[in-house]
Copies of this chain bind each other. A is one copy, B any other.
Amino acid sequence: MKAKSTSLRGSQRGNEQAGTAKKKSKRLPYAERRAQILEKATELFAEYGLTAQTRALAAECGISQRLLYRFFPTKEDLLKEVYDTRIIGPFQAVWFAELSDRSRPMSERLNKFYKDYLDTVLGRRWLRLFLYSSLAEADMAPNYISSIITKLTETIVQETAHEKGIALNMDPEAIHEIGWTIHGSISHYAIRRHIYHASQVVSQDMVVATHVSVFLNGFDAMVSQLDS
């Protein structure tokens, strides 16, 4: 941890070899360098948390720390852009509509959806960043992602009930809880894979199939329990 000498603070000559930085340090046009910084920042913040240092990021990019500030006024601004493009972005790319495609059985729709969702959204980078962000935000203000997930749980339950010919006479909050049983358990599967480093043996498709299966087969019992 301790530095070897007293006064070599900011002068690590030739920082190209530091970390995993690339060699061949060529000059990059504005847009490219900016994209590179965003990419590396995503990696860094996902791995070491939102408190990761700008100097580490610069080293990762193979540039001086000062140059970061040509692209982002403050670390806070960088953080915000990482969140917007790497958390919100992939989330918006998800095709939720397919869950309502009644020409296909619910089992198939759910399997397809969650296979995609795990690949597109619930990857290591996304999950770690999302958790770090969620833990950090003090305000309990409901955000964009929560609102979409809430709508998602609602869709899943209503579509399932429709396929089974079941009427739902219950509180909207109860409906959400039913939807959360599958969405939560699959999200937690991602968490234990990427955060706890568990559940690495059984194939992802098999796990999804299992979760869809338990949801569809336990659905009626849940409805009975929560119906009012």
| Cβ contacts under 8 Å, A189 to chain B | 180, 184
Within 8 A of B (CB), among A79-125: none
Q: Does A198 contact B (CB under 8 A)?
A: yes
Q: Tell whether A188 pairs with B196 under 8 Å between CB atoms, given A135-B132, A217-B217.
A: no
Interface flag for A8 (CB, 8 Å): no
Q: Is the CB of A207 within 8 A of B49?
A: no
- Among A23-31, A56-64, A169-177, the one that faces the other chain is A169-177
A35 at the interface (CB under 8 A from B): no
Nearest-neighbor residue (CB-CB) of A213 within chain B: B221
Residues of B within 8 A of A219 (CB): 214
Complex: A184 Cα to B215 Cα, angstroms: 13
Known pairs A135-B49, A217-B220; A188 contacts B180 (CB<8 A)? yes
A134-B195, A134-B196, A202-B177 as given contacts; A210 in contact with B185, CB under 8 Å: no
Q: How many copies of this chain?
A: 2
For the residues of A in contact with B, the DSSP-based class is: helix
- Kindly state whether residue A4 has any CB partner on chain B within 8 Å: no
Task: Check A180–B199 contact: CB distance below 8 A.
Answer: yes
Report if A161 contacts B (CB, 8 A): no
Considering residues A189, A196, A207, which has the most beta carbons from chain B within 10 angstroms of its beta carbon?
A196
Residues of the B chain whose Cβ atoms lie less than 8 Å from the Cβ of A181: 185, 210-211, 214
- Which residues of chain B have C-beta atoms less than 8 A from A216's C-beta? 218, 221
Q: Are B225 and A221 in contact (CB under 8 A)?
A: no
Inter-chain CA distance A178–B207, complex, in Å, is 9
Once the chains bind, are B198 and A210 in contact (CB under 8 Å)? no
The answer to whether A214 and B215 have CB atoms under 8 Å apart is: yes
Name A128-178 residues within 8 Å CB distance of B. 128, 131-132, 134-136, 140, 142, 146, 150, 171, 173-174, 176-178
Show the binding face of A for B, using Cβ within 8 Å.
Answer: 49, 51, 128, 131-132, 134-136, 140, 142, 146, 150, 171, 173-174, 176-178, 180-182, 184-185, 187-189, 191-192, 195-199, 201-202, 206-207, 209-211, 213-222, 225-226
6 A-B contact pairs sorted by A residue (CB < 8 Å):
A49-B136, A131-B131, A177-B210, A180-B188, A209-B225, A216-B221
